[in-house]
């Protein structure tokens, strides 16, 4: 299983001050959150992912999703709550008999921000 893209950046607006030609102010305006890509081997739960993705055409309710980082022993070391997620892309497996690899799927989700959650 993998997680890629969990992050944010401050969007800056440059402002030039009259009479001060050697300086441009960089004013913070908002936070911008990147999409998160989650990949895993195909399982029976793939049907749930497909159903969730298909529901985007008939209306949906945004929910909070949780991502956990765990040690090899299964102990949680960090947990994030992604706010108001919506799936934006799903990529299925590539099947090639010459390269026998585990069939994986990837889902990309957009969100309105995240919070580090207690208990980690």
CB proximity list for 42: less than 8 A, separation 6 or greater: 93, 103, 104, 105
Task: Look at residue 119 in the predicted model and tell me its pLDDT.
Answer: 64
Q: What is the CATH number of domain 2-116?
A: 2.30.110.20
Average pLDDT across the chain, whole number: 90
Task: Look at residue 94 in the predicted model and tell me its pLDDT.
Answer: 82
Distance between CA atoms of 66 and 86, rounded to whole angstroms? Answer: 13
* Statement: the pTM of the whole predicted model exceeds 0.85: no
Report which secondary-structure segment, H or E, holds 49.
helix 46-54
Task: Look at residue 76 in the predicted model and tell me its pLDDT.
Answer: 92
pLDDT per position as a tens digit, 69-99: 999 999 999 999 999 999 999 998 888 888 7
Q: How is residue 63 written in tokens?
A: 């929910």
Task: Look at residue 101 in the predicted model and tell me its pLDDT.
Answer: 84
Task: Look at residue 31 in the predicted model and tell me its pLDDT.
Answer: 94
CB proximity list for 61: less than 8 A, separation 6 or greater: none
Q: How far is the CA of 32 from the CAs of 63, 70, 99, 114, in angstroms?
A: 19, 26, 39, 11
Q: Mean pLDDT, 10 residues at a time, over the chain (120 residues)?
A: 94 91 92 96 89 83 90 92 94 84 92 82
């Amino acid at each position: 299983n993998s997680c890629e893209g969990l992050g944010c950046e401050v969007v800056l607006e440059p402002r030039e001050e009259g009479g001060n030609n050697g300086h441009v102010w960089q004013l913070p305006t908002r936070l911008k959150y990147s999409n998160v890509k989650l990949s895993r081997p195909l399982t029976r739960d793939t049907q749930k992912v497909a159903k969730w993705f298909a529901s985007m055409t008939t209306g949906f309710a945004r929910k909070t999703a949780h991502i956990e980082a765990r040690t090899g022993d299964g102990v949680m070391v960090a947990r994030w709550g992604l706010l108001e997620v919506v799936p934006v892309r799903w990529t299925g497996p590539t099947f090639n008999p010459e390269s026998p690899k585990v069939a994986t799927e990837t889902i990309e989700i957009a969100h309105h921000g995240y919070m580090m959650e207690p208990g980690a």
